[in-house]
C-alpha cells in the first residue's frame, strides 16, 4: 500500500466513511453480545470490551478531534 499522504482526498474520505460505518457496526454488535450474556464474568468482560469500543472515538488528548464531522 502506498503512503497515505499520497492518497487523493476523495479516497481518504471514502476510507474514513467506511471506517466509521465499520466502527458503528462493531459497537452495535458488541453491545448485542454483551446484552445476550447471562450475569457473570463473561458479561463483565464483554461490558468492558463494549465500553472500550464505544469510547474510542473520543480521543483523550484532543476532545475536539473526533471521527465525527
Over residues 11-68, the pLDDT tens digits come to: 999 999 999 899 999 999 999 999 999 999 999 999 999 999 999 877 655 555 555 5
Contacts of residue 59, Cβ cutoff 8 Å, sequence gap at least 6: 65, 66
Interior angle at CA 28, CA 19 and CA 25, nearest 5: 25
Q: According to the model, what pLDDT value does residue 5 have?
A: 73
* Integer Cα distance of 20 and 36 in angstroms: 24
Amino acid at each position: 500500500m502506498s503512503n497515505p499522504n499520497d492518497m487523493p482526498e476523495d479516497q481518504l474520505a471514502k476510507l474514513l466513511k467506511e471506517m466509521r460505518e465499520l466502527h458503528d457496526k462493531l459497537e452495535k454488535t458488541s453491545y448485542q453480545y454483551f446484552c445476550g450474556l447471562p450475569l457473570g464474568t463473561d458479561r463483565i468482560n464483554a461490558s468492558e470490551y463494549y465500553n472500550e469500543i464505544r469510547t474510542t472515538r473520543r480521543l483523550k488528548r484532543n476532545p475536539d478531534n473526533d471521527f465525527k464531522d
